[in-house]
């Protein structure tokens, strides 16, 4: 049982504040991913939990006990870094056994513990090898084994697979997930890779410039982004955003973007749901899969010209000019044959997001 709670954490480096009033409660066995661009404060947060960095304000509680004044060694937390920090002169077995040597375990118990963790990580056949004989992925498996072998209260991982090539990263991602399901330890994982975050996390913490932007399940942050930053940070290709105008016309709501004369038809209830934001200061967000494209004219569809087509294998991303604004749509591969083709476009109201243009906050409108 390990719960971790961060309360009102503030951190300065000199005069620069890099963490602002950070609050987060992590449940037992939860896999939390801190996600954000380089420099947003993820690593500093992780190091503060581990005790490798001091904090200027706030409390770090492990199982309800404040630990911010404890040394790293007294917090019983293991950490895995991006660089493979193995001892080169020791075998894999000795590397994994190392944290246990300082304990009172008998050599028989150490042997058993190392073999058990090696079995879970599928590295039993590597136990007699030296790190120099291992691939990058195997080195990181050993580093994870060494971190887990003493059954720490929590596992912290800082971009543990960031240095591996794409194929290996994918493999290791699955491995880390499998390991977590099997071992079930409270884990905090730092990455700037949203696919890694989406595939691993129970909940994702999205950070920007030292502030938490949103905490939620992968589906929450993708389907209900709290603000424009999250909306554009999560999802690839990125969400289209455009300043929008909303008016009432013929019993329906009409949403215009990019100074286009014609607008997109939305259900009338949009007007009441926008709560007075319909007079301006509104930003529309729509993911490429919410931009619907068809060849022939149909009710509610606007004629437009395709600009650029990006084939991405199983689907294409097609740039469409709507007034002065470019909207990116996701279509079946080859659906639009080339630039200049005339197609018809519509925005799926159910997939539309509306934000306050000034604050960037989501207005929480669901149609
Ligand atoms: N020891 C330090 N001294 C001064 N500034 C630091 C120190 N460590 C980090 N910073 C600054 O604090 C901010 C947050 O850094 P941090 O490493 O936590 O970000 P990050 O999101 O983990 O980024 P990255 O993915 O690049 O590690 C950055 O602006 C960084 O330059």
Of 226, 252, 272, the domain-final residue: 226
Distance from residue 72's CA to the centre of ligand 1 (Å): 19
Angstrom distance (rounded) from CA 259 to CA 137: 52
Beta bridge partners of 311: 316
In a domain, 171, yes or no: yes
- Structure confidence by residue, pLDDT tens digits, 176-235: 888 888 888 899 999 999 999 999 999 999 999 999 999 999 999 999 999 999 999 999
Domain boundary (204, 226, 248) is at: 226
**Looking at residue 260, what is its pLDDT?**
65
Ligand 1 centroid vs 346 CA: distance in angstroms? 43
Is 99 a member of any domain? yes
279 pLDDT higher than 60:
no
Contact 245, 256 (CB under 8 A): yes
Residue 231 lies in a domain: no
User: In which order are the strands placed within the sheet that holds 186-191?
Assistant: 77-80, 154-158, 186-191, 31-35, 203-208, 211-216
Q: What is the pLDDT of residue 147?
A: 87
Taking the centre of ligand 1 as the mean of its atom positions, its distance from the CA of residue 52, in whole angstroms, is 13
The reported pLDDT for the residue numbered 81 is 84
- Per-residue burial over 167-195, b = 16 or more CB atoms within 10 Å of its CB, e = otherwise: ebbeebbebbeebbeeeebbbbbbbbbbe
Q: Do the beta carbons of residue 85 and residue 163 sit within 8 Å?
A: no
Residue whose CA is closest, atom 28 of ligand 1?
39
**Residues 304, 220 share a domain:** no
The residue written with tokens 């690593």 in the block is 43
Residues 83 and 105 occupy one common structural domain: yes
Closest approach atom of ligand 1 to CA 37: 21
Distance 321 CA to ligand 1 centre (A): 40
> Looking at the 3D structure of the chain, how many domains does it have?
2
Per-residue confidence at 338, pLDDT binned at 50, 70, 90?
very high
Q: What is the mean pLDDT of the chain?
A: 92
Backbone conformation region of residue 170, classed left if phi is above 0, alpha if psi is from -120 to 50, else beta: alpha
> Looking at the domain assignment, is residue 133 inside a domain?
yes
114-125: average pLDDT: 90
Q: Which of 17, 37, 43 to mutate to test the pocket of ligand 1 (most atoms within 8 A of CB)?
A: 43
Q: Are residues 25 and 137 in the same domain?
A: yes
How far away, in angstroms, is 41 Cα from ligand 1 center?
A: 6
Residue 367 lies in a domain: no
Reported confidence tier of residue 336, pLDDT bands at 50, 70, 90: very high
162/40: higher pLDDT:
40
Whether residue 184 is found in the same domain as residue 250: no
Mutate to test the pocket of ligand 1, among 12, 13, 211 (most ligand atoms within 8 A of CB): 13
Task: List residues near ligand 1 (CB under 6 A).
Answer: 13, 18, 36, 38-44, 192
CA of 134 to the centre of ligand 1 (A): 30
Average pLDDT over residues 44-51: 96
Q: Which structure tokens are listed for 51?
A: 């005790």
pLDDT confidence band for 355 (50 / 70 / 90) = very high
Phi/psi at 219 (5° precision): -65, -40
264 lies in the same domain as 209: no
- Ligand 1 atom at minimal distance to the Cα of residue 34: 21
Same-domain status, 106 and 220: yes
CATH code of the domain containing 253: 2.40.50.140
How much of the chain, in percent, has pLDDT values that exceed 90?
72
- Give the structural domain span for 296: 240-356
pLDDT at 278 over 60: no
The answer to the question of residue 361 being in a domain is no
Q: Is the backbone peptide bond immediately before 237 cis, with ω within 30 degrees of 0?
A: yes
Query: What is the CA 151 to chain-centroid distance, rounded?
Result: 26
Query: Using H for helix, E for strand and C for coil, what is the string for the chain?
Result: CCCEEEEEEEEEECCEEEEEEEEEEECCCCEEEEECCCCCCHHHHHHHHHCCCCCCEEEEEECCEECCCCCHHHCCEEEECCCCCCCCCCCHHHHHHHHHHCCCCCHHHHHHHHHHHHHHCCCHHHCCCCHHHCCHHHHHHHHHHHHHCCCCCEEEEECCCCCCCHHHHHHHHHHHHHHHHHHCCEEEEEECCHHHHHHHCCEEEEEECCEEEEEECHHHHHHCCCEHHHHHHCCCCCCEEEEEEEEEECCEEEEEECCCCCCEEECCHHHHHCCCHHHCCEEEEECHHHEEEECCCCCCCEEEEEEEEEECCCEEEEEEEECCEEEEEEEECCCCCCCCCEEEEEECHHHEEEEECCCCEECCCCC
Output the domain CATH number for residue 111: 3.40.50.300
């Amino acid at each position: 049982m390990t719960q971790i709670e961060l309360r009102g954490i503030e951190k300065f480096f000199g005069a620069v504040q890099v963490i602002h009033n950070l609050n987060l409660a992590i449940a037992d066995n939860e896999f939390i991913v801190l996600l954000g661009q380089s420099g947003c404060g993820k690593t500093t947060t992780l190091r503060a939990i581990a005790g490798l960095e001091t904090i200027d304000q706030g409390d770090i509680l492990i199982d309800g006990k404040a630990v911010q004044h404890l040394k790293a060694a007294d917090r019983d937390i293991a950490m895995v870094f991006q660089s493979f920090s193995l001892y080169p002169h020791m075998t894999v077995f000795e590397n994994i056994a190392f944290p246990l040597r300082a304990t009172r375990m008998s050599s028989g118990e150490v042997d058993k513990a190392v073999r058990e963790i090696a079995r879970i990580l599928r590295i039993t056949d590597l136990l007699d090898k030296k790190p120099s004989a291992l691939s990058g992925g195997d080195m990181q498996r050993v580093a994870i084994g060494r971190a887990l072998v003493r059954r720490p209260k929590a596992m912290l991982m800082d971009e543990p697979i960031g240095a591996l090539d794409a194929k290996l990263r994918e493999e290791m991602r699955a491995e880390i997930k499998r390991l977590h399901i099997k071992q079930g330890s409270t884990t905090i994982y730092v990455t700037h890779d949203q696919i890694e975050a989406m595939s691993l996390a129970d909940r994702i913490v999205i950070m920007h410039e030292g502030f938490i932007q949103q905490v939620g399940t992968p589906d929450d942050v993708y389907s209900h982004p709290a603000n424009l930053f999250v909306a554009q940070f999560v999802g690839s290709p990125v969400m289209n955003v455009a300043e929008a105008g909303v008016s009432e016309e013929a019993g329906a709501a009409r949403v215009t973007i990019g100074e286009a004369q014609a607008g997109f038809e939305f259900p009338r209830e949009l007007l009441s749901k926008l709560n007075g934001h319909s007079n301006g200061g509104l930003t529309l967000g729509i993911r490429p899969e919410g931009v619907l494209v068809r060849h022939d004219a149909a009710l509610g569809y606007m004629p437009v010209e395709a600009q650029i087509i990006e084939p991405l294998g199983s689907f294409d991303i097609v740039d469409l000019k709507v007034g002065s604004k470019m909207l990116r749509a996701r279509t079946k591969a080859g659906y639009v044959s080339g630039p200049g083709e005339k197609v018809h476009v519509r925005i799926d109201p159910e997939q539309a997001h509306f934000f306050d243009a000034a604050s960037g906050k989501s207005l929480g409108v669901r149609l």
